[in-house]
Amino acid sequence: MSVTRMLIGGEWRDAGSGRTEDITSPYDGSVVGTVPRAGQDDVEAAITAAEAGAVTWRRTPAHERMRILLRAARSVDERAAEIAKTITAENGKAIAEATVEAGRAGETIRLAAFEGAQLYGDSLPLDAHPGTGLDKVGFTVRQPCGIVLAITPFNYPALLVLHKVAPALAAGNAVVLKPAETTPLTALALAACFIGAGLPGNVLSVLTGHGSEIGDQLVSDPRIRKISFTGSTQVGDRIARHAGVKKISLELGASCAVIIMPDADLGLASDAVAAGGYANAGQVCNSVQRIITHHAVNADFLDALLPKVKAIRTGDPSSHDTTMGTLITAGEAARVQQSISAAAAGGAKVLVGGEREGSVVAPAVVADVDPSSPFSRQELFGPAVAVSTAKNWEGAIAQANDTSYGLSAGVFTSDVAGAVRAIREIDCGNVHINWTPLWRADLMPYGGLKASGIGKEGPRRAVSEMTEEKTIVLHGRPW
């Protein structure tokens, strides 16, 4: 298999060291591609190129940047089927899900392209400052940060790359992208669309390699002005410690809860949980991990949920008959299986699923889970939901908040007053009423509270966080 080279300063290159790495299918272990394994020299080359790219790109008018991004979006649309196959091959995501992800990619670029053309500032009422007359004019302008370092996880290898690269480019920044080591092929395919659309050479680099080898060097480099990271809280914490004085956005881990009250539509709630707990084999930051049912409807909810979970079909992710693919590695699948076994050993009941075959874990429902156990509080990132009960709104909201994370939550109820209370009191970045947390429109502000992160994504917010605000004062008189 030939090496898919990485992108540095507009050139498709091998690693300076000549090292390469095979990318394998999580499903059957077959080699689906080979990429360079970047080292320190490659990091230096990418950042040096980005310095030049940042100068070129900030001098490129917004309408031209927009035109290039729109061409890239069209190219991504045209290659969507091919990109979906690449996602399935390297990530193990069922092809039906990969097709949806690839289908959203072009639109994500278009949303960012538009926002990059909306860099408005404010006019400042300086005459309201005591002692100042009408002889001064003040306003703000936004300008690109310079070089944006984008570091992305494996679970949405197209969308999470584009939620960083597209707004960063739209806002006029040069970008150094470090995709997850398990899913670099999708990132390289997307980068080719930007280059094909006419992006100047030095503006985008993609370094394939391991965060544990090149992460600290990238993150601590003073030429990087903004870091946009999505991944685990553990790595996010390390990045925050190494970054120094820079702008940082961190989209991190989660243990998302769904509350189901007695006046909920249990058919709707069970449909939504059967989708939101198992999409991408539960490897989604806003996956349903915890279900907090009112004790009066716990049994009825489980009766409605179990047949829907049993109907999920695992198997070859490239088959259209498969509705749930693999975990990212057999090691991750073993970790998830062990977590389910540990919950059972602690007194929880595994009602269905939890068995492992290679990198596939059968979708599981685990009831009677102790809300203070690691199975509930820590991130699982696998295809299982943990069910526990509460007596009332007070108890349900307290349980939902009983984790260090705070990304997203869902509430099923027809009680408007209760819903309003939940909206106000659940400490999460996103709250969904009558749906699960696993829902995202690419345009909406998206990000977590507490250990789930800092800052927001979504093209409008990302463009704002990837630009600097400058205050300008024109002095008609010098005092």
Residue 230 touches ligand NAD, criterion: CB under 6 A: yes
Cβ proximity to ligand NAD, 211 vs 371, nearer residue? 211
Paired tokens of 330:
């057999």
Of 119 and 327, which has the nearer Cβ to ligand NAD?
327
Taking CB under 6 A as the criterion, the residue among 47, 169, 235, 409 binding ligand NAD is 235
DSSP 370: -
**Residue 285 bears catalytic tag:** yes
What is the DSSP secondary-structure string of 381-428? -SSEEEEEEESSHHHHHHHHT-SSEESEEEEE-S-HHHHHHHHHHS-S
205 binds ligand NAD (CB under 6 A): no
Q: Which of 58, 178, 54, 196 is nearest to 116 (CA)?
A: 58
Q: Which residues contact 403 (CB under 8 A, 6 or more apart)?
A: 255, 257, 290, 376, 377, 378
**Phi, psi (degrees; rounded to nearest 5) at 446:** -145, 125
Task: Tell me the window of 81-89, 139-147, 176-184, 257-265 that interacts with ligand NAD (CB under 6 A).
Answer: 176-184
- Consecutive H or E run containing 88: helix 80-91
Residue 87: DSSP 8-state: H
List the catalytic residue out of 145, 285, 457, 465.
285
The amino acid that residue 361 corresponds to is V
Q: Is 251 a known active-site residue?
A: yes
- In three-state secondary structure terms, 191 is helix
Task: Judge contact between 51 and 176, C-beta under 8 A.
Answer: no
Is the CB of 282 or the CB of 317 nearer to ligand NAD?
282
Query: What φ, ψ does residue 153 adopt, rounded to 5°?
Result: -90, 180
Choice between 230 and 314, CB closer to ligand NAD: 230
Helical H segments across 117-227, by residue range: 159-170, 184-196, 211-220
> In terms of CB distance, is 287 or 464 closer to ligand NAD?
287
**Residue of 157, 172, 231, 363 interacting with ligand NAD (CB under 6 A):** 231
Query: Among all chains, which residue has been given the structure tokens 């307290």?
Result: 398
The SS3 assignment for 450 reads strand
For ligand NAD, the binding residue among 144, 167, 211, 383 (CB under 6 A) is 211
CB nearer to ligand NAD: pick between 386 and 396: 386
Per-residue tokens: 164 = 């960083």
- Closest listed residue to residue 161, CA positions, set 145, 177, 173, 139: 177
Q: Binder to ligand NAD among 269, 285, 387, 451 (CB under 6 A)?
A: 285
Binds ligand NAD by CB under 6 A, chosen from 212, 338, 392, 471: 212
CB of 232 to ligand NAD, least distance (A): 3
Stretch that binds ligand NAD, among 210-218, 294-302, 333-341, 468-476 (CB under 6 A): 210-218
CB of 204 to ligand NAD, least distance (A): 16
Sign of CA dihedral 304, 297, 381, 205: positive
Binding flag, residue 248, ligand NAD (CB under 6 A): no
Kindly state whether residue 42 participates in binding ligand NAD, applying the rule CB under 6 A.
Answer: no
**Alpha carbon 35 to its chain's center:** 23
Residue 191 to residue 343: CA distance in whole angstroms: 42
Sheet containing strand 384-390, strands side by side:
349-352, 364-367, 384-390, 288-294, 256-260, 408-412, 430-433
- Name the residue nearer to ligand NAD (CB basis): 354 or 406: 406
Q: Which of 73, 192, 407, 438 binds ligand NAD (CB under 6 A)?
A: 407
Is position 40 an interface residue for ligand NAD (rule: CB under 6 A)? no
For ligand NAD, give the closer residue by CB, 75 or 430.
Answer: 430
Contact track, ligand NAD, 424-463, x by CB under 6 A = ------------------------x---xx----------
Task: Point out which span in 42-50, 129-137, 140-148, 173-181 binds ligand NAD (CB under 6 A).
Answer: 173-181
Residue 153 binds to ligand NAD (criterion: CB under 6 A): yes
CB of 135 vs ligand NAD, minimal distance in Å: 48
3-state secondary structure of 194: helix
Under DSSP, is residue 445 helix (H, G, I), strand (E, B) or coil? coil
Per CB under 6 A, contacts with ligand NAD among 360-379 are: 379
Place of tokens 């992460």: 215
Rank residues 119 and 243 by Cβ distance to ligand NAD and give the closer one.
Answer: 243
Asked if 239 is part of the footprint of ligand NAD (rule: CB under 6 A), the reply reads yes
Catalytic residue, chosen from 115, 251, 379, 457, is 251
Stretch that binds ligand NAD, among 82-90, 108-116, 149-157, 471-479 (CB under 6 A): 149-157
CA distance 307 to 314: 15
The binding site for ligand NAD (CB under 6 A) comprises: 151-155, 160, 178-181, 210-212, 215-216, 219, 230-232, 235, 238-239, 251-254, 285, 379, 381, 407, 448, 452-453
List, by residue number, the catalytic residues: 251, 285
